[in-house]
DNA sequence: GATCATAGTCGTCTTCCTGACGATAAACAC
DNA sequence: GTGTTTATCGTCAGGAAGACGACTATGATC
């Protein structure tokens, strides 16, 4: 087909972000309240238009910084400081997903350590960390007894896909360390796995597994007591990105 | 940000297809020759614009049918007939990836059994199955001694990503059966794994593994001799989509 | 300070999976 | 028949993982 600008329909392209963290033993996602129609007042995933001269990953990193102050991290470098892991998730382009116009959204997944309060344009009441089960339940009631409206657009589907990606990816990669501060203990890492998978893991087998997987953890030499009990060794994330053999998610 | 049509730049959205099959013990991809600039005369992945009223997966299925006659298959249904597996791969949106204009391409991955000759608008010389190593080598020479030009646009990257997705996905899913005809033998399935991974597998251990994984293979009762030697049992793909435990790709 | 609760760390045992590989079975070519 | 090819079954050793006992090192409580 020859080049003819009228031969293709114009699309708006956005990036939407599934930003996950672990807070108080629960997997939480960043949600922002919509200020305008459609879905005014409803919670949604953060996101925005891709600019004319921007790559998709640049746009995602920019939105992430705008919403959280996080600095997106090159995936080839181990996670450190307050950098977050950022990767492309999937693209959603149903013709009716936005009632205003044809919008294709390239969703990205970000994994971050537990952060202070979120900010959305400086207005804290319009952004929050919410447990993913709370955001995904349809028409139920939240912990405060207030009715829960489903997320705007197809964001419930996007969030569910992002959560599933995170759950499966920490099996065979060292991505779980992206939820941890730069230095962490084996127990803290185990609580990340428990929160993301929603299961209880045997501390002894987990300890044997992660300390025995080459390149996963590097001891820093320090110890700490953050949870009461015996002090634990501190580790940093090792260079390995793919775990071999993988962590196994317990059956059902 | 309020709704303002001038607030976002317009994009063209395309789908590109990585269509993989196994021919003569080699992993091959479908390539089409470009008829117009840019990259006129160069090989590229098949693809085209997403229409105004089309979902992304619909557009990918339409392009697949146009190029190969394959009927894309709902992933929730086991592969059968001449249906192919089709899934979204990733989205590529570098501002400079198409010199004409801003194009975002949603790449899809299709896996198909070995097919008769491809057709591209009825012109066989403009479409072919080529071994993926041949398409991915840069500036080398093909088997016929003719110099090989790299694929157009960023299609080498897209193809490489698709191949890597296929290689990893047959580890933990039953997707390898998408490369097989409706009924196949354990040996044929093994040769699929060998071609996709580029390794040799022990026939005895492979047989034990696939016949011992629940839901992977269903015996049809028939036997056949397609490769010489003792007749082999025929199987269909079972309902299982996730293999547990997974097939393990040999180290290195 | 003794006791208790909490977490972290090291071992043991059994079971399952895998890789290596011997042996047998059933076809075809000569 | 002999040889070749492919399919299929069996055996054995090594490694990984689940279950779980035991010990260690801290803070909290009496």
DSSP output for chain A = ----GGGS--BEEEEEEEEEEEETTEEEEEEEE--SSSSTTSEE--EEEPPTT--HHHHHHHHHHHHH-PEEE-TTS---TTEEEEEEEEEE--TTSSSSS-EEEEEEEEE----S---STT-GGGEEEEEHHHHHSSS-B-TTS-B-PPPSTTHHHHHHHHHHHHHHHHHHBSGGGGGS-SSB-HHHHHHHHHHHHTS---HHHHHHHHHHSTTTEEEEEEEE-SSSSS-EEEEEE-S--B-SSPP-PPP-
Work out the end-to-end distance of chain A between its first and last CA atoms, rounded to an integer number of angstroms: 51
Instruction: Note the CA–C1' distance, B174 to D3, in angstroms.
Output: 37
Q: Are strands B26-33 and B127-131 parallel, antiparallel or unpaired?
A: antiparallel
* Mean pLDDT (10-residue bins), chain B, 252 residues: 63 97 95 91 95 96 87 52 84 96 97 75 75 86 71 96 97 96 96 97 98 95 88 94 91 72
In B17-114, which ranges are continuous DSSP H helix?
A: 56-68
List the 29-88 stretch of A: residues with Cβ below 8 A of B.
36-37, 48-56, 88
B 176-215, residues with C-beta < 7 Å of strand C: 202, 204-205, 208-209, 212
Q: Are B118 and B30 in contact (CB under 8 A)?
A: yes
Strand C and A82 CB separated by under 7 Å: no
Instruction: Note the CA–C1' distance, A115 to C7, in angstroms.
Output: 24
pLDDT of chain A, 252 residues: tens digit per residue: 444 555 678 999 999 999 999 999 999 999 999 988 899 999 999 999 999 999 999 999 999 998 887 776 655 444 444 578 999 999 999 999 999 999 999 999 999 999 765 665 555 568 899 999 999 987 666 666 666 779 999 999 999 999 999 999 999 999 999 999 999 999 999 999 999 999 999 999 999 999 999 999 999 999 998 878 899 999 999 988 999 889 999 876
Q: Are A105 and A15 in contact (CB under 8 A)?
A: yes
Six-digit token string for A159:
């969030």
Residue B218 CB neighbours (<10 A):
14
Strand C and A187 CB separated by under 7 Å: yes
Output the pLDDT for position A82: 55
Q: Are A84 and A198 in contact (CB under 8 A)?
A: no
Output the pLDDT for position A117: 59
Backbone angles phi, psi at A134, to 5 degrees: -65, -40
Q: Are B110 and B17 in contact (CB under 8 A)?
A: yes
Closest CA to B132 of B43, B210, B49: B43
User: Among all strands, which nt has the closest C1' to A246 (CA)?
Assistant: D16
What residues have CB less than 8 Å from A63, skipping those under 6 apart? A15, A17, A46, A47, A48
Q: Are A46 and A96 in contact (CB under 8 A)?
A: no
Strand C and B245 CB separated by under 7 Å: yes
Residue B55's alpha-carbon distances to A217, B1, B60, B61, in angstroms, are 43, 26, 9, 10
Output the pLDDT for position A2: 43
What residues have CB less than 8 Å from B238, skipping those under 6 apart? B78, B174, B214, B215, B216, B217, B218
Six-digit token string for B82:
């001449």
Instruction: Note the CA–C1' distance, A174 to D13, in angstroms.
Output: 31
Residue A252: exposure state from Cβ atoms within 10 A (0-12, 13-18, ≥19): exposed
Contact B50 A88 (CB under 8 A): no
In the block, tokens 């490489």 appear at B160
Output the pLDDT for position B36: 87
Q: Which of B14, B49, B93 lies closest to A56 in CB terms? A: B93
Output the pLDDT for position B118: 61
List the 165-184 stretch of B: residues with Cβ below 8 A of A.
none
What gap in Å lies between CA B109 and CA B176, rounded to an integer?
Answer: 13
CA A196, A80, A87, A151: dihedral to nearest 10 degrees?
A: 50
pTM for this predicted structure? 0.91
B48: chain A residues, CB-CB within 8 Å: 1
What gap in Å lies between CA B209 and CA B82, rounded to an integer?
Answer: 27
Contact B201/A at CB under 8 A: no
Six-digit token string for A156:
């419930």
Work out the mean pLDDT of chain A and round it to a whole number. 88
């Amino acid at each position: 087909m020859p080049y003819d600008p009228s031969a293709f329909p114009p699309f708006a392209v956005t990036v939407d972000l599934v930003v996950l963290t672990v807070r108080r033993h629960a997997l939480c996602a960043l949600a922002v309240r919509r200020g305008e129609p459609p879905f005014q007042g409803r919670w949604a995933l953060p996101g925005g238009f891709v600019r004319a001269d921007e790559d998709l990953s640049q746009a995602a990193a920019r939105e992430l910084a705008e919403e959280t102050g996080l600095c997106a991290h090159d995936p080839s470098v181990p996670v450190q400081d307050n950098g977050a892991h950022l990767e492309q998730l999937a693209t959603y382009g149903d013709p009716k997903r936005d009632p205003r116009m044809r919008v294709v959204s390239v969703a990205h997944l970000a994994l971050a350590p537990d952060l202070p309060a979120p900010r959305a344009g400086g207005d804290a009441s319009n952004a929050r960390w919410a447990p993913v089960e709370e955001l995904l339940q349809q028409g139920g009631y939240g912990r405060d007894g207030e009715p829960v409206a489903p997320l705007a657009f197809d964001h419930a589907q996007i969030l569910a896909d992002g959560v599933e990606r995170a759950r499966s990816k920490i099996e065979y990669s060292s991505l779980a360390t992206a939820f941890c501060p730069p230095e962490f203990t084996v127990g803290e890492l185990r609580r990340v796995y428990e929160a993301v998978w929603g299961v209880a893991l045997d501390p002894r087998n987990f300890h044997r597994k992660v300390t025995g997987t080459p390149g996963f953890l590097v001891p820093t030499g320090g110890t700490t007591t953050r949870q009461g009990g015996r002090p634990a060794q501190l580790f940093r994330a090792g260079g390995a990105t793919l775990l071999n053999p993988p962590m196994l998610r317990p059956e059902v």
